[in-house]
């Protein structure tokens, strides 16, 4: 009873060990290579449970999804001799697991090295044909296509399908980058200078304009003033003329009297008078007195 | 998946290893099937008790009755508990469970408590409703990009994406988030490379955003990634930090310019208002002068007319009177020297120095 139970357990354990050694699971996301004493005996693409020889067969799992490599800082030279650093991403998928195993021993790193060498050459060739301006913008799609095509051949020999090669970044070399920064800086400085200069020019211009307008306004004022004054003087003249015309001779006399009064009547004037003048006609001797009226008549 | 105890470790699902044997973690999307473990021991749902009980009853009926029953039962119960623990999955409301039977995809299950008997089946949980955010340009000089006119700008943005097709997402690409990020960055650099810096820095942002989203989506579709780009958030496009100061100085220069213009406006306003005042004053002064002289002229004319009216009445007398009155006033206030030119014969010239003599001898004749 007891012995048979132990025997049962033993059989179960042995069966389990054999089963574990001869069964293997293939994931949906993998391809399995069954290697029989170092030789690829078959490729299992169907996911699920599969059978192999225990010990003699070894199973190698290979990714069957698309995955990505990035290759950074590859130096390229464009047709105008300028050098740039390019980063790319490569999307790959292992299509032929057997080839992959046979050529590079299912070693992804080795495969990557070989493909990157090709990629590097393809990049340099593709960039070398173009000016930087074209490479940076309008030709980018075409270039990525070209590179993909060039790399695809090499990859195919390794059982790998190149799904896509994309240029991730195109960068200036470090010293060119510094020069670019300096240029950007000086461009901005020039712009700032220009803006400030323009401000000052406008300032001067506006002030000069103001000064001119000031002159215009004041001289217009002076003009108006002169016109008004002239009108006043003309009116004055006409008023005088109208009044004095009545008797010009009397006006002459009257005005002279006023002028004498005004200019000599303030004192401090020395007069040398002739006793024969009209003012003195009654001055002096009686004979003179008798003489004067007769003279006058 | 620590519970996933495959016999020899070879058959582990690749998502745990990455394409070339990288250790799990760090690579995948942050909330990618990490949260979706099967409710650890702490929150075993009540149904589990029933299951355990059922299992135990089943065992009871299978196992031969008799001695050593307790020693058999304990490890069996532990194995059963572990089995249930490995086979029951809690699918969260924003997740889908992808069930693989012996590595082959069989079905997608909805949120709720789901059963996938281990080791026959395993389940992977995908957060299909969650929106993932992948930031680009956050660290270091990752965001520095060359523009169409060979300037540099510093771009910072986020890609927002969802799992659109869980089957494609899980089975056609590895390292999904890394690829999303790389493709979006590549697209951004492509578009910025076509845009002049001045546009990228100012009003070209919306256009950039749309184009990058479009290219990214198309490229990912080409890879069958099962990813839907739900949005692209352009968080900042700035000049690189080393030239930022020069860019800001341009802004300051604009303000300086405006200040300069304003100052000139102030100057000219003041000058012009003053000039207008001066002009008005000149005109007013002239008007005053005109009014004055006209009024004076009228007065003078009137005065003359009045005198004349009287003069006409007695011409000789009036004339004589005016003459004498004037002379009286004039001569009376002056220094007078009366001489007879007919006697001296030489006129007044010899006597011109007389006032000086008179001043030194004030007692002289007046």
Ordered DSSP codes for A21-72: HHEEEE-TTEEEEEEETTEEEEEE-S-EEEE--TTTEEEEEEE-SBEEEEEE
Top-confidence residue, B37 or B60: B60
pLDDT tens digit string along A134-191? 887 778 888 999 999 999 988 999 999 999 999 988 888 888 888 889 998 999 999 9
Flag if A270 and B19 touch (Cβ within 8 Å): no
Whether the link from the prior residue into B119 is cis, omega within 30° of 0, is yes
pLDDT, average across residues A29-51: 88
How many contacts does A have with B, using Cβ atoms within 8 A? 355
Backbone angles phi, psi at A86, to 5 degrees: -120, 135
Query: What is the average pLDDT across B295-315?
Result: 88
Mean pLDDT in residue range B179-201: 91
Whether B90 and B39 have beta carbons less than 8 Å apart is answered as yes
pLDDT band at B333 (very low <50, low <70, confident <90, very high): confident
Say yes or no to pLDDT of B48 above 70. Answer: no
Does B243 have pLDDT greater than 60? yes
Considering only CB atoms, which chain B residues are within 8 Å of A191?
250, 253
Report pLDDT for B347.
Answer: 58
Contacts of B286 in chain A (CB under 8 A): 224-229, 232
Whether B365 has a pLDDT exceeding 50, the answer reads no
Which residues in chain B are contacts of A267 at CB distance < 8 A? 333-334
pLDDT, mean over chain B: 79
How many angstroms separate the CA of residue A228 from the nearest CA in chain B? 6
What pLDDT score does A136 carry?
A: 77
**Is A168's CB within 8 Å of B337's CB?**
no
Decide if pLDDT at A123 tops 70.
yes
A200: chain B residues, CB-CB within 8 Å = 260
Which candidate from A20, A196, A207 shows the least CB-CB separation from B257? A196
DSSP state of B45: -
What is B254-279 written as a DSSP string? HHHHHHHHHHHHHHHHHHHHHHHHHH
- Beta pairing class for A270-273 and B335-338: parallel
Q: Which of B178, B142, B184 is nearest to B29 (CA)?
A: B178
Altogether, the residues listed in chain A come to a count of 297
Mean pLDDT confidence for B338-364: 56
Find which of A39-48, B59-68, B126-135 is predicted with most confidence, using mean pLDDT.
B126-135
* pLDDT range class, residue B3, cuts 50, 70, 90: very low
Count CA atoms within 13 Å of residue A231 on its CB side: 13
Q: Cα B366 to the chain's mean position, in Å? A: 102
* CB-CB neighbors (< 8 A) of A222 in chain B: 282
Reading the block at residue B305, the tokens are 């007319």
How confident is the model at residue B204, as a pLDDT?
A: 87
| Cβ atoms within 10 Å of B311's Cβ, excluding its own | 20
SS3 A276: coil
Q: Which residues in chain B touch residue A195, judged by CB atoms under 8 angstroms apart?
A: 250, 253-254, 256-257
Burial bucket for residue B78 (CB in 10 Å: 0-12, 13-18, 19+): exposed
Question: Is 0.95 topped by the overall pTM?
Answer: no
Position A198 pLDDT exceeds 90: yes
Task: State yes or no: pLDDT of A109 exceeds 70.
Answer: yes
Contact: A206, B268; criterion CB under 8 Å: yes
A125 CB contacts (<8 Å, ≥6 apart)? A150
Average pLDDT in chain A = 86
Rounded mean pLDDT, B309-324:
86
Q: How far apart are CA B25 and CA B77, in angstroms?
A: 33
The DSSP symbol for B173 reads: B
| Confidence category of residue B359, pLDDT binned at 50, 70, 90 | low
Cα–Cα distance, B45 to B112 (Å, whole number):
11
Contact B281 A221 (CB under 8 A): yes
Q: CA-to-CA distance for A207 and B271, rounded, in angstroms?
A: 9
Tokens of B184: 């979006």
Among the listed residues B300, B20, B351, the one whose alpha carbon sits nearest the alpha carbon of residue A241: B300
* Contact (Cβ atoms closer than 8 angstroms) between residue B95 and residue B126: yes
Beta-strand runs (E) in chain B = 88-91, 96-101, 104-109, 112-115, 121-126, 132-136, 144-146, 152-163, 227-238, 335-338
Of B257, B292, B300, the CB nearest to A198: B257
Q: What is the pLDDT of residue B358?
A: 55
Helices (H) and strands (E) in chain A, counts: 8, 9
Which DSSP helix (H) or strand (E) runs through B151? none
Place of tokens 């003179």: A288
User: CA-nearest residue of chain B to A242?
Assistant: B301
Q: Which residue has the higher pLDDT, B288 or B327?
A: B288
Nearest-Cα distance to chain A for B46, in Å, is 33
Residue B161 pLDDT greater than 90, yes or no = yes
């Amino acid at each position: 009873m007891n012995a048979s139970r132990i025997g049962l357990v033993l059989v179960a354990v042995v069966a389990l060990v054999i089963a574990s050694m001869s069964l293997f699971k293939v994931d949906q996301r993998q391809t399995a290579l069954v290697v029989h004493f170092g030789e690829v005996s078959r490729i299992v693409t169907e996911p699920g449970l599969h059978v192999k020889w225990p010990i003699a067969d070894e199973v190698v799992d290979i990714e069957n999804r698309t995955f990505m490599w990035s290759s950074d800082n590859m130096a390229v030279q464009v047709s105008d001799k300028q050098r740039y650093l390019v980063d790319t991403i490569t999307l790959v998928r292992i299509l032929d697991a057997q080839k992959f195993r046979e050529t590079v021993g299912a070693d992804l790193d080795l495969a990557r090295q070989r493909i990157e060498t090709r990629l590097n050459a393809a990049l340099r060739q593709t960039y070398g044909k173009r000016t930087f301006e074209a490479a940076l913008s309008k030709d980018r799609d075409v270039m990525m296509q070209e590179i993909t095509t060039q790399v695809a051949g090499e990859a195919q020999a390794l059982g790998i399908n190149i799904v896509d090669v994309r240029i991730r970044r195109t960068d200036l070399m470090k010293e060119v980058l510094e020069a670019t920064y300096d240029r950007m800086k000086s461009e901005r400085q020039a712009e700032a200078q220009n803006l400030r200069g323009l401000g000052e020019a406008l300032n001067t211009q506006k002030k000069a304009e103001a000064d001119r307008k000031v002159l215009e306004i004041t001289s217009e004022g002076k003009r108006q003033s002169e016109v008004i004054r002239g009108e006043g003087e003309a009116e004055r003249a006409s008023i005088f003329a109208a009044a004095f015309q009545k008797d010009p001779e009397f006006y002459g006399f009257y005005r002279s009297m006023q002028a004498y009064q005004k200019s000599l009547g303030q004192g401090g004037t020395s007069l040398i008078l002739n006793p024969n003048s009209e003012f003195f006609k009654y001055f002096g001797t009686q004979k003179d007195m008798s003489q004067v009226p007769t003279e006058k008549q | 998946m620590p519970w996933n105890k495959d016999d020899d470790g070879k058959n582990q699902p690749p998502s745990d290893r990455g394409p070339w044997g990288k250790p799990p973690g760090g690579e995948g999307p942050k909330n990618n099937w990490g949260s979706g473990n099967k409710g650890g021991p702490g929150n075993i749902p009540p149904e589990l008790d029933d299951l355990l009980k059922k299992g135990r009853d089943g065992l009871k009926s299978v196992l031969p009755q008799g001695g050593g029953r307790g020693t058999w039962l304990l490890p069996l119960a532990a194995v059963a508990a572990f089995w249930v623990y490995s086979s029951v999955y809690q699918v969260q409301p924003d997740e889908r469970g992808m069930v693989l039977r012996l590595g082959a995809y069989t079905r997608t299950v909805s949120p709720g408590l789901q059963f996938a008997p281990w080791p026959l089946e395993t389940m992977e949980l995908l957060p299909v409703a969650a929106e993932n955010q992948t930031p680009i340009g956050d660290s270091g000089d990752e965001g520095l990009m060359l523009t169409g006119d060979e300037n540099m700008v510093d771009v910072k943005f986020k890609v927002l994406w969802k799992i659109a097709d869980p089957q494609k997402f899980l089975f056609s690409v590895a390292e999904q988030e890394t690829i999303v990020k790389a493709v979006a960055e590549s697209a951004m650099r492509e578009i910025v490379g076509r845009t002049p810096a001045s546009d990228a820095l100012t009003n070209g942002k919306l256009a950039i955003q749309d184009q990058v989203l479009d290219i990214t989506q198309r490229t990912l579709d080409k890879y069958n990634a099962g990813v839907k780009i739900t949005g692209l958030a352009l968080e900042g496009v700035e000049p690189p930090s080393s030239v930022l100061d020069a860019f800001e100085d341009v802004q300051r220069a604009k303000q300086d310019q405006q200040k300069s213009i304003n100052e000139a406006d102030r100057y000219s306003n003041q000058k012009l208002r003053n000039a207008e005042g001066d002009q008005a004053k000149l005109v007013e002064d002239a008007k005053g002068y005109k009014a004055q002289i006209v009024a004076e002229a009228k007065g003078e004319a009137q005065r003359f007319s009045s005198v004349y009216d009287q003069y006409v009445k007695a011409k000789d007398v009036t004339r004589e009177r005016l003459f004498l009155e004037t002379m009286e006033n004039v001569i009376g206030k002056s220094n007078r020297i009366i001489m007879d030119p007919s006697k001296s014969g030489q006129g007044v010239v010899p006597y011109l120095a007389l006032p000086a003599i008179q001043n030194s001898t004030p007692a002289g004749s007046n």
